[in-house]
A and B are shown apart, each in its own frame.
Chain A
Amino acid sequence: MKTDQFEKRKLELSCLTDEELNRKFWELSEKIVDPLVKLAYENTSPSIERSVLLRMGFNSLEAKGFVDKCFERGLLGKGAGHVVLKVSEALKRDYLAIGREMAEGKHWEIAEKLLKGVNVG
């Protein structure tokens, strides 16, 4: 912001009461964070998905193995927990056991078929 512009706007703001200044401060904060909140609402990340798996009862090593593979296969946007549940439902087995096997590389073709409609095999 140029100095002359700053001085001009400062003068405009100097008419505001203390309360009005405080309100203005918070309105602008909200405007800055609006797109950040929207971004967070609509997106996920490997760490977020690992945090989901931890809450489901996986340990950190299993969560890491699973999410790395989920990301590589473009399935992270489905939700890692969602992926493991879908596969365990299809195989009718406990999701923790399935998740551990998927962390080691198994069952991903089933996951892709179930969630992307892709028939890899």
Chain B
Amino acid sequence: MSLESTKKLDVDDILTDLAHYRPKRKGWHWREAHPNGKQEGSYQYEEISKPLSQSVPLPAGRYFDHIDPQPQEIITAEIASGRFEDDIRRMRMAAWHGADHIMVIRTLGQSHFDGLIEGTPEGTGGVPITRKEVRATRKALDLIEEEVGRPINFHSYVSGIAGPEVAVLFAEEGVNGAHQDPQYNVLYRGINPIRSFVDAAVAKTLMASADILQIDGAHNANASSKVAWKVMPELLVQHAINSAFSVRVGMDKSLISLSTVPPMTSPSPSFRLNFVYALTIRELFKEFRFRAQMNTRYIESDLFDATRIHVLDAVLSRLTQADIQSTITPDEGRNVPWHINSIRGVETAKHTLVAMDGMKKYIGPKTEVLKDEMRDLKIRAILYMEDILENGGYFEAVEKGFFVDSGYFPERNGDGITRKKDGELGAGTVVPRETDYYAPVCHHYGYNALPPGVERACDPIGGCTLDHPEKIQFVDELDENDNVDVRRATVRESESKGMLKPEVEWKNDGIIQLDITIPDNPDIAEAAALEIANRLGLEEPTVISKTILHPAEATYVEIKARVPFFVDRSALRLPEKNVTLSEEEITRYVHENPLRVVAGTVGNDEHSVGIREILDIKHGGIEKFGIKYTYLGTSVPVEKMIDAAIETNSKAILCSMIITHNDVHIEEMRKIHQLCIEKGVRDRLLLIAGGTQIKNETAVQAGMDAGFGRGTKGIDVASFIVKTFQRKKAGD
């Protein structure tokens, strides 16, 4: 089974024979070195990795021979729709844009589920992590990674009250990365502190056995605190506790990654604060890895604001160090993580990191200036830890509300999170191992009294599942109503009939977004926008973002709503694709019938990139086929274009028109057509317009012979010219 780029991923195929599927590989995979001296296209890079075999380059890639350089950093896409069958399609999209770390968020409440969940129930804000869902996802990723030519790391969470079991599941099923930090359980999930640490040791040992990369949870303090920068000393302490604990129970430092977030954002002078913090943490934890997360603490529902924050966060990664650059959908602030925004997040990271390739060669921190601030931060963290020890240790510090307090240490505002050592969920469930305690399995942390004569703990059972995967039992569905088959049944029919609905996260969700500017105050604008959506026949319209352009003049409103109907794929009428002549045919014709054209950007228009691409041999332009051209530059008056065509005995005029405000381009087209008639040269000159907004129909209506829009290549134009002259000749 393999994927074809022109075919959809078949969810039913993925679900077939899952009971016997085994992952193709296990363990974390870092990006590989670039094989070609780091040369992509005509550019030399410092910090890129092995390219993908298939991908979608950045939007501007078309101007650079469609190169798609991949930074050295792993790029994360977080996926949280609640339906794994839709998630796996999103994963494919993300992989094609350069994500190789797929972080699957768990459903709300799974951390309080005392055991493993089975089957494929629908989740809220993420999927329930079950064996079937994990296996199906890994199977899909095994195919996707072959399709893009780069291993993809599958990641989820070993947290909650069933950590050790989830760790077994992940080690068995080829999950490659996981969040694991007992402090996260304690502080944010209200799970008994003792249980959290005892469980964590076993979970971490299991993760280490399968080379699963660990990401910690300290960044949540940042997202939870009232003022993010004030927890900076605490963040260092939290990272240290989890890192030290992990190493002590057998994890390798190279597979421990700190989850670090630039704490602040604009309008605070954030870069300065974030930079000092980023350098300090990287100096203290230099033997560990860094997963740079985007700031979410201050994300609002404005996509552009989120993107600006994320660009600056990635600048910080490039200036310091990041082994993994995480992304968050910029619509996190609306709690609606959509396909497009997930991809935008990945593109933002890729764009920023590639743009700043090799930056550190020229720009670096002024260490003398920064030294005092970095030392101050370290000293605060050190004294924070002394304070913990003097108060009786970690559990006592948690009881006293040391963590996520809004004061800047040593200041304490008494609003930290408090958890009782002997309280919270799962209290009283930890049991001392007796002297004859025995666990007949491998990779088990802690005291284990092997029976006399037993060398390996799992010998008496003939090996455990980690070495003998055939021993793993596959549990299928437990709920006959809440499972993937029931959900698939509702979409399979429309799928088989080729019926289409818009989609933001789930097949057939029907959701679209409308961008509306209403010239009124925010309250009126919101009501008006909803009324418009209703009158358009859309269902459940909801305002998802508002931007005040002026308190009285105008408000920009974004609405999401459902489209209630399907579109029949087979009934769609597609415009006929222009079939071009072959390169050889064009070249032969031009060789036998020499052709010259004049070209330029007409009117008051300074855009020249597009027309150069159509002309230049380097970009596969018309020059390649032997067509000679005279390039007149930008903002050329139409009279000059025509005169130059007459003077050079050209056969065509290529007018580039990018500016289309008030239909100025239509005016220009009419004018040049008219002037050619007046000068008596219209019959012998082909008039061709081109530009991103140009359509053939409107160009022809305005008197041109043809119009070429976005995505046009030199061969399209050359082919049109040659075909027209061939036709004329045949007509003669």
Which residues of A line the B interface, CB within 8 A? 1-3, 5-6, 9-10, 13-14, 18, 21-22, 24-26, 28-33, 35-37, 39-52, 54-61, 63-64, 71, 76-82, 85, 95, 115
Given contacts A32-B244, A40-B198, contact A45 B465 (CB under 8 A): no
The answer to whether B439 and A52 have CB atoms under 8 Å apart is yes
Q: CB < 8 Å: which of B161, B245, B432 contacts A36?
A: B245
A30, A37, A85: most-surrounded residue (chain B CB, <10 A): A37
Scan B459-479; emit 1 where CB is below 8 A from any A CB, else 0: 011001110000111010000
B396 CB to closest chain A CB (Å) equals 11
Q: CB < 8 Å: which of A21, A40, A42, A81 contacts B439?
A: A81
The answer to whether B437 and A47 have CB atoms under 8 Å apart is no
| Chain B residues within an 8 Å CB radius of A29 | 240-241, 243-244, 385
| Chain B residues within an 8 Å CB radius of A36 | 197, 245, 394
The answer to whether A57 and B394 have CB atoms under 8 Å apart is no
B393 within 8 A of A: yes
The answer to whether A52 and B441 have CB atoms under 8 Å apart is yes
Chain B: interface size category: 35 or more
- Considering only residues 231-284 of chain B, those with a C-beta below 8 Å from chain A are 236, 240-241, 243-245, 248-249, 283-284
Q: Can you list the 8 inter-chain pairs with the closest CB atoms, starting with the nearest?
A: A40-B201, A51-B164, A60-B116, A57-B471, A82-B438, A28-B385, A59-B473, A29-B240
The answer to whether A82 and B437 have CB atoms under 8 Å apart is yes
| Chain A residues within an 8 Å CB radius of B118 | 60-61
Would you give 22 A-B contacts (Cβ < 8 Å), ordered by A? Answer: A1-B383, A14-B379, A21-B379, A25-B236, A32-B240, A32-B385, A32-B388, A33-B248, A40-B197, A40-B201, A40-B445, A42-B433, A42-B446, A47-B114, A51-B167, A54-B165, A54-B465, A60-B165, A63-B165, A71-B429, A77-B434, A78-B437
Given contacts A40-B445, A42-B446, A82-B439, contact A77 B114 (CB under 8 A): no
| Chain A residues within an 8 Å CB radius of B79 | none
Scan B197-221; emit 1 where CB is below 8 A from any A CB, else 0: 1111111001000000000000000
The answer to whether A55 and B464 have CB atoms under 8 Å apart is yes
The answer to whether A48 and B440 have CB atoms under 8 Å apart is no
CA gap between A33 and B114 in the complex, in Å: 26
B292 within 8 A of A: no
B671 within 8 A of A: no
| Chain B residues within an 8 Å CB radius of A21 | 375, 378-379, 382
The answer to whether B383 and A9 have CB atoms under 8 Å apart is yes
- Considering only residues 412-451 of chain B, those with a C-beta below 8 Å from chain A are 426, 429-434, 436-442, 444-448
Q: CB < 8 Å: which of B195, B240, B432, B471 contacts A26?
A: B240
Q: CB < 8 Å: which of B432, B444, B471 contacts A42?
A: B432
| Chain B residues within an 8 Å CB radius of A31 | 385, 389
The answer to whether B245 and A60 have CB atoms under 8 Å apart is no
Q: CB < 8 Å: which of B249, B379, B444, B472 contacts A57?
A: B472
CA gap between A33 and B239 in the complex, in Å: 12
The answer to whether B163 and A47 have CB atoms under 8 Å apart is yes
The answer to whether B389 and A32 have CB atoms under 8 Å apart is yes
The answer to whether A28 and B241 have CB atoms under 8 Å apart is no
B245 CB to closest chain A CB (Å) equals 5
The answer to whether B440 and A56 have CB atoms under 8 Å apart is yes
B610 CB to closest chain A CB (Å) equals 54
Given contacts A6-B410, A60-B118, A64-B115, contact A30 B437 (CB under 8 A): no
B411 CB to closest chain A CB (Å) equals 8
The answer to whether A24 and B382 have CB atoms under 8 Å apart is yes
B387 within 8 A of A: yes
B130 CB to closest chain A CB (Å) equals 9
| Main DSSP-derived SS at the A contact region | helix
Q: CB < 8 Å: which of A55, A77, A82 contacts B168?
A: A55
The answer to whether A77 and B284 have CB atoms under 8 Å apart is no
CA gap between A106 and B435 in the complex, in Å: 26
Scan B371-404; emit 1 where CB is below 8 A from any A CB, else 0: 1000100110111011111100110000000000
Which residues of B line the A interface, CB within 8 A? 114-116, 118, 131, 161-165, 167-169, 194-195, 197-203, 206, 236, 240-241, 243-245, 248-249, 283-284, 371, 375, 378-379, 381-383, 385-390, 393-394, 409-411, 426, 429-434, 436-442, 444-448, 458, 460-461, 464-466, 471-473, 475
The answer to whether B429 and A56 have CB atoms under 8 Å apart is no
| Chain B residues within an 8 Å CB radius of A95 | 461
CA gap between A115 and B438 in the complex, in Å: 12
CA gap between A50 and B520 in the complex, in Å: 61
Chain A residue at minimum C-beta to C-beta distance from B478: A61
Given contacts A55-B168, A58-B473, A61-B475, contact A25 B378 (CB under 8 A): yes
B587 CB to closest chain A CB (Å) equals 67
The answer to whether B378 and A43 have CB atoms under 8 Å apart is no
| Chain A residues within an 8 Å CB radius of B448 | 79
| Chain B residues within an 8 Å CB radius of A32 | 240-241, 244, 385, 388-389, 393-394
B195, B200, B437, B471: most-surrounded residue (chain A CB, <10 A): B437
| Chain A residues within an 8 Å CB radius of B444 | 52
The answer to whether B164 and A47 have CB atoms under 8 Å apart is yes
The answer to whether A56 and B441 have CB atoms under 8 Å apart is yes
CA gap between A5 and B445 in the complex, in Å: 40
A32, A39, A61: most-surrounded residue (chain B CB, <10 A): A32
Q: CB < 8 Å: which of A2, A48, A59, A77 contacts B410?
A: A2
The answer to whether B440 and A41 have CB atoms under 8 Å apart is no
Given contacts A21-B382, A41-B201, A44-B198, contact A3 B410 (CB under 8 A): yes
B604 CB to closest chain A CB (Å) equals 60
The answer to whether A25 and B382 have CB atoms under 8 Å apart is yes
The answer to whether B431 and A44 have CB atoms under 8 Å apart is yes
| Chain B residues within an 8 Å CB radius of A59 | 473, 475
The answer to whether B198 and A45 have CB atoms under 8 Å apart is yes
Given contacts A40-B200, A78-B437, A81-B440, contact A45 B245 (CB under 8 A): no
